[in-house]
A and B are shown apart, each in its own frame.
Chain A
Amino acid sequence: MSHGFEDQTGHRLSVLESLELKINPGDSVAIVGPSGSGKSTLLSLLAGLDVPGSGDILFNGETFSGLTEDQRASIRRGRIGFVFQSFQLLQGLTAMENVMLPLELMGLSVNESKKRSTGWLDRVGLEARIHHRPRMLSGGEQQRVAVARAFVNEPALLFADEPTGNLDRKTGESITELLFKLNRETGTTLILVTHDERLADQCRRVLHLEDGQLNEVAA
C-alpha cells in the first residue's frame, strides 16, 4: 500500500511508499522511526481510521478499502482497542465511567459494564480511584484508565500510539509492563508506535519507518 497527501501549495507528499506488511494474531509489533516519518499515519491506516491512497488493508480477511467510514467503524466495533499518547479520557466522566463507555456503546447493560470495568480497573491497580475524574488523577493513572478501557471489551487487536510519550520514565515503565502483561494474558495482538527503545525492545517484532519505507529491524 502507498499513502500520501497534498500540502497547502497543492504539492503531493508521499508518506508511505509500497509497503507490505503482515501481522499475525497474538503478535506484538513496534513501529519506530523519526518524528514526522508517518508512524501515526500508518497506525491510523492499519486501524481503519483512514484509507490508503493505493493498495489495501485486510483485517481478518475483511478489506478496509472501498468501505465508508461507517462500515469500517462497524468492523472496529468490539474488535479493536486504542491507547493514546494524550490518554483521550472524557473529562466529565469518572475513571469507571470512562472504562464502561465502550461496553455501553456496544449495548451492554449498566450493571454488566460496571462489573467488568471494576474488574479491569482492579487489574490496572486503580481499584481505589474508580470514582475519580481524570483531572484528579496523575498522568500515569490516567494512562492506566486508558489501558483498562482499551482492554475492557477484550479486543482482538490493540493499537497504542506513543503510550508512554507523556509520562516520566518510571511511570512509563510501569505502563509498558502493564501493557505487555495484559497482552500476554489476553492474547491480544498489539501494534504500537513509539520513540521509546525499551518499549520497542519488548515487542516481538520491531519495524523501522523512514522516508516512506518500512524495514523490519528485529524479530
Chain B
Amino acid sequence: MIALRLLWREFTSGQLTLLALAIVVSVAAMTTTEVLTDRIDRAMRADAAALLGGDLKLRGPRPIETEWLAQAKSRGVLATETIEFPSVIGSGSTFELTGIKIITDGYPLKGHLEIADSRAGLGYPTSRIPDPGTAWADPQLVSKLDIDVGDRVSVGEIELEISKILVFEPDRGGSFVSLTPRLLMNRVDLESSQLIQPGSRVRYITLFADGDIEGFQAYVEPKLDISQRLRGVVDGRPEVGNVLTRATTYLSLAGLLTVLLSGAAIATTANRWASDHVTDSALFRTFGLSGRETFKIFATELVVLGGVASSFGVIIGYFLQIVLVDTIAGLLTISLPEPSGRPALLGLLTGFVTLFGFAAPALMLLSNVPPIRVFKRDYPVAVMGQLGRYLFALFAVGALGYLYSNDLRLTGWVLLAVIILVAAVTLIGRVVILGLSPLERLGPAWRFGIQQLIRDPASSGGQLMAFSLTALAVAMVALIRFDLISTWETQVPNDAPNTFALNITDQDQFDFIQAVTSKGGDVAPLYPIVRGRLEMVNGTPLVKHLGGMEPPGSVRRELSLTESGVLGRDNFIDRGRFFKSTDGPGLVTVESKLFDELDLEIGDFIVYTIGPDRVSAEVIGTRKVQWESMLPNFFMIFSPGTLAPFQSTRLTSMRLPNPSVQTAEISSEFRQVTLLSVDAILNQIRDILGRVSQAVSVVLYFVLVGGILVLAASIQTSLPERRKESAILRSLGGSDNLLSQSQWAEFLTLGIISGILAALGTDFLSWFVYSKIFNLEWSPKWQVWVLAPFMTSAIVGVIGRWSARQARKMPPAHLLKIADA
C-alpha cells in the first residue's frame, strides 16, 4: 500500500507526469493505429470480398457435404450454393453455347449483381435474383442470340423469359477465362429443365461469408480432396489480391513502426524516472528496507502506473480514431466496420510490455542501489550493461512488433534495421557530436548550443537515438506510401483496356482493328490463340514429373497458348531471357508462378498436345505477369513460328470510349467475335485502389502526428538539465536572445544529424522491405537524404525551442532553485 501512496503523492507532485504522458501517448498512438488499420483492413477485405461474392469460395465437382454446411451454420457463417455448367441456349433457329449459373436467394453474400432493364439500358445494383420461370442474360448472349428483355429462350426442356440484362456479376472468373456468354437462372427451375444429366460438366460453387470464417476455413481445408478448391479474397482475385497484400503489409509496418516510436518515448522517460529514484532507493535502504522490499515498492508503482496510463491510452486511442474516422469520413469512401475489441487488449499489453521492456533494467538498478549512495553520489551502482539494456528493449519491441504485424520476417528485418541504426547512432552519432567543435566558432550562441551537446554525449546520444528512430519511422511510412500509390496508379491506368475480344479470324483482323479505331477505341496487340494441354516435361509425363502430385489447375485443362516475338509492357523477365530476333521456333517462356508450381528449370523441354499433334519447346525464361493490367496475358508464350502449323484465332483487348453501346455495335458487325466487357470490374478495382490509397495516406498522417508527439516527449525529458543550464547562463548575464539562439543551434544540429542518420536507416530498411516484402523496385531516393534532415531539423528545432522556452522565461533565481532540487 505504501507503494500506491507513494505513487499517488509523486503523481500529484507532477513528478510522474512525463512518464505517464509518454505511456498514454504511446498506447493511444498504438491503439489508434491498430484500431484504424484493423478497421481499414477489414473494410478493404470486405470491398474485395464483394469481388468474390463472399469471403470464401469453395469449388468442386459435386455438391458440398451437408456436414460442412452444418459446421458453417454452427459458426455463424453464411453460405449459398451456386451451380455452373455449359449448355446450349436457343432462340428461334439460333443456338449459343452458354455458361449457365443456377443461384438461390441470398446470392451473392458480398457485393451485388447489376442488371439493366433492356439491352441499351443503364445498369443498376440489385439484391434480387431471377424469379422462377425467368432468367437474366448478359449482353454477349443477347447480342449473339439477337434477343432483348421479354423474349423467351429454350433452356433444356423448358422455356424461360429473359427479364433483365445481366450487367455485372461479382464472382465471375477473375482471370477473364469465363469468356462464354452467361445466363443466370433460379434454382427452382433446375429440375424441370433437366439440364444436368449424368456426365454433365458441373461445378458446384459455395460462397461463405461472415461469422467465424477463419475457423471454418481451418475446419474445411484439411478435408478437401484434390477436386475441390477453397479460395479466399487474396488468392481468389489476383487483380486485387496483390494490392490487398501490400496494403495489409503496409498497415502492419505502420503499426510496427508506431511500436518503435512509442518504445523510444517510453525508454527515454523510463530512464529518467529510474535515475530520479536512485537516491530515493538508497534512502529507503538506510531506513532499513531490504532490496526485495525496495524492488516491490518501485515495481508496484510501475505496474499501477503502467496499468492506469495504458487504460487511459486505450480510451483516448479509441476516441481519437472515432474523431479521425469522422474527420476523414468525407475523404475516405470506405464504410468502416465497427472497431473490434482486439486493439484494446493489444493496447494494454503494449503499454505494459513497452514499459517493462524499457524500464526493467532501470527497475533492477533501483533494487540494487547500495545505501552508501546517500553519502557518496559517485558510488558505483551495478547497472545492466548497455548491451543488456538494448537486448531487453529489443526483445520487447520484437515481441510487440510480431504481435502487431503477425509477420515474423517483416518484424525481423525492421529489428535488424533498428539494430544497425542504433549501432550507427551510438558509433557515428558520438563521433559526429564530438566533432562538432568547429561549429562553436560561428558565434557565442553556437558555442553554448554545441557545448551543450558535447558536454554530455550520453544524453545527446540518447536524444539523437530517439530523434533518428522517430524520423526513420516516419520516413519509411511516407516513402512506402508514395511508392505504393504511384505503383497502384500505373497498375490500372485510366486508359487500361476495358473490353476483351476473342475469336477474331485471320482475315478479319485488319477490319476489326479499323472498326475499333474508327469508334475512337485503342487496340492492344492481337495474339494468335491455340488451345493445348501440357503433356510432358523432359520426356516424362507431367504427373510423374510432379512426383504423382496433381498438376496446378491452369494446366489441368486446355490452356490458351500463343506466340510472340515482343514482350508485353506488363511482363518482366525474372529468370532466363526473352526471345531474340535471331531465335527460331521451339522456345517458350513461362509465367513465373506456374514455372515454380510445375517444378521447371530453365533449359527443360516441355511437350504440349494440340489436337492430334504435339509441339515441343525449350524453356528459356520466366515472366512476371501483371494480370491486373487488362492486357492479353498468357501462361505460355512460344517463340514466333512455333504455333504456325496450327489453326488459330486471335485475341486482344481494347479500350472503347463507350463500351456498353460500342460492344453491341462491334458484335453485330463481327458476329463470330466474342466481346467481353470488363469495364465494371475495372471500375471496381480502380475504386478499391483509390480507397486503399486514401487509407494508406491517412495512416501516414497519423504516424506523422505520433512522431511529432514522441519528439516533443523526448525533448520534455531533457527540460530539467536545460533549466539548470539556462539558469546558470542567465545568472551570468546571458541575454534571452543568446539563450534562444543557442537552443536553435543545438536543436537544429541535433535535427540535422538525426535526419542524416534516419536517411541512412531508411535507405537500408527500404531496400529490404521493397525487394523482399513488397516486391517493388528499389532505387536510392535522393529526396530522403534531403527531406529527412530538413524536416527533422525543422520539426525538432521548432518543438525544441517551444518546449525549452519555459526554461528561458523563468527568473534565474527560481530556475536555480528548481534545478538544485
Question: B15 near A88 (CB under 8 angstroms)?
Answer: no
Partner of B821, one of A70, A78, A102, A135: A135
Which of A19-27, A44-52, A122-130, A196-204 is near enough to bind chain B? A44-52
B817 adjacent to A73 (CB under 8 Å): no
Q: Please measure, in the bound complex, the distance between the C-alpha atom of A44 and the C-alpha atom of B376, giving whole angstroms.
A: 10
How far in angstroms is the closest Cβ of chain A from B379? 9
Measured CB to CB, the closest approach of chain A to B720, in angstroms, equals 11
Chain B residues with CB under 8 A of A75: 288
How long is the Cα–Cα vector from A189 to B736 in the complex, in angstroms? Answer: 52
Q: Is the CB of B371 within 8 A of A73?
A: yes
Contact of B13 with A by CB under 8 A: yes
What residue in chain A is nearest B11 (Cβ atoms)? Answer: A92
Which of A78, A84, A101 has most chain B Cβ within 10 Å?
A: A101
Question: Which B4-45 residues have C-beta < 8 A from chain A?
Answer: 5-6, 9-10, 13-16
Contacts of B286 in A (CB 8 A): 47, 49, 76, 80, 82
Chain A nearest CB from B289 CB (Å) reads 6
Q: Which residues of A contact B280 (CB under 8 A)?
A: 90
- A133 at the A/B interface (Cβ < 8 Å)? yes
- The digit string for A87-126, where 1 denotes a CB below 8 A from any CB of B, is 0101111100100011011100010000000000000000
Contact A40 B9 (CB under 8 A): no
Residues of B within 8 A of A110 (CB): 5
| Binary interface encoding of chain B residues 646-663 relative to chain A, with 1 for a CB under 8 A from any of its CBs, else 0 | 000000000000000000
Question: A70–B15 contact, CB under 8 A?
Answer: no
Within 8 A of B (CB), among A1-55: 40, 43-44, 47, 49-50
Q: Is A161 an interface residue (CB 8 A)?
A: yes
| Docked-complex contact A40 and B376, CB < 8 angstroms | yes
> Which residues of A have CB within 8 Å of B290?
69-70, 73-74
Interface string of B34-58 (1 = CB under 8 A from A): 0000000000000000000000000
Q: Which of A43, A88, A92 contacts B10 (CB 8 A)?
A: A92
| Interface presence of A169 (CB below 8 A) | no
The answer, among A70, A92, A102, A133, for a CB contact under 8 Å with B287, is: A102
Taking CB atoms and an 8 Å cut-off, the chain A residues in 135-151 that contact chain B are: 135
Chain B, Cβ-Cβ closest to A75: B288
* A172 in contact (CB, < 8 A): no
Given A69-B285, A70-B291, also A91-B375 (CB < 8 A): no
Are the CB atoms of A88 and B285 closer together than 8 Å?
no
> B631 on the interface (CB 8 Å rule)?
no
How many angstroms from the CA of A102 to the CA of B285 in the assembled complex? 11
Query: In this complex, what residue of A is CB-closest to B13?
Result: A92
Given A69-B291, A82-B286, A135-B817, A104-B2 contact (CB < 8 Å): yes
> Across the two chains, which residue of chain A brings its CB closest to B377?
A86
Band of interface residues on A: 35 or more
Q: Could you tell me which residues of chain B, from 356 to 373, have a CB within 8 Å of some CB in chain A?
A: 370-372
Known contacts: A74-B288, A101-B287, A102-B287. The answer to whether A91 contacts B13 by CB under 8 A is: yes
When A49-B370, A74-B290 are in contact, do A105 and B284 touch as well, CB less than 8 Å? yes
Q: A88-B279, A161-B375 are in contact. Are A104 and B289 (CB under 8 A)?
A: no
Kindly list chain A residues whose C-beta atoms are within 8 Å of the C-beta of B416. none
Residue pair B375, A44 in contact (C-beta under 8 Å): yes
Q: Check: A184 CB closer than 8 A to any chain B CB.
A: no
Complex CA–CA separation, A74 to B285 (angstroms)? 9
Q: Which residues of B contact A69 (CB under 8 A)?
A: 285, 290-291, 370-371
Tell me whether B569 is interfacial, beta carbon within 8 Å.
no
Please indicate the chain A residues that have their CB under 8 angstroms from the CB of B6 in the complex. 93
Contact in complex: A91, B15 (CB < 8 Å):
yes
Contact of A77 with B by CB under 8 A: yes
> How distant is the Cα of A119 from the Cα of B13 in the complex, in angstroms?
23
Map CB proximity to B onto A56-81 as digits: 1 under 8 Å, 0 otherwise. 00000000000001100111111110
What residues of chain B lie closer than 8 Å to A40, measured between beta carbons?
375-376
Query: Out of A90, A106, A161, which one reaches B283, CB within 8 Å?
Result: A90
Q: Is the CB of B287 within 8 A of A105?
A: yes
Min Cβ gap B452→A in Å is 24
**Alpha-carbon distance A90/B821, docked complex (angstroms):** 10
Q: Does B374 contact A (CB under 8 A)?
A: yes
Q: Which of A43, A88, A105, A133 contacts B288 (CB 8 A)?
A: A105
Q: Is the CB of A70 within 8 A of B292?
A: yes
* Docked-complex contact B5 and A50, CB < 8 angstroms: no
Are A76 and B288 touching (Cβ within 8 A)? yes
> Cβ of A78: which chain B residues have Cβ within 8 Å of it?
288
Find out whether the CB atom of A77 lies under 8 angstroms from the CB atom of B289.
yes
B818 located at the interface, meaning its Cβ lies under 8 Å from any Cβ of chain A in the complex: yes
Q: Would you list the 4 A-B pairs with minimal beta carbon distance, nearest first?
A: A77-B288, A70-B290, A92-B10, A92-B13
26 pairs, A vs B, C-beta closer than 8 Å: A44-B371, A44-B375, A47-B286, A49-B285, A49-B374, A50-B370, A69-B370, A70-B290, A73-B290, A76-B287, A77-B287, A78-B288, A82-B286, A84-B374, A88-B279, A90-B283, A91-B15, A92-B13, A93-B6, A94-B9, A101-B287, A105-B289, A106-B288, A110-B5, A134-B821, A135-B818
Starting from the known contacts A40-B375, A76-B287, A135-B821, 11 additional A-B residue pairs (CB-CB under 8 Å) come to A44-B376, A70-B291, A77-B288, A80-B286, A88-B283, A92-B15, A93-B9, A105-B284, A110-B5, A133-B13, A134-B821
Residues on A facing B (Cβ under 8 Å) = 40, 43-44, 47, 49-50, 69-70, 73-80, 82, 84, 88, 90-94, 97, 101-102, 104-106, 110, 133-135, 161
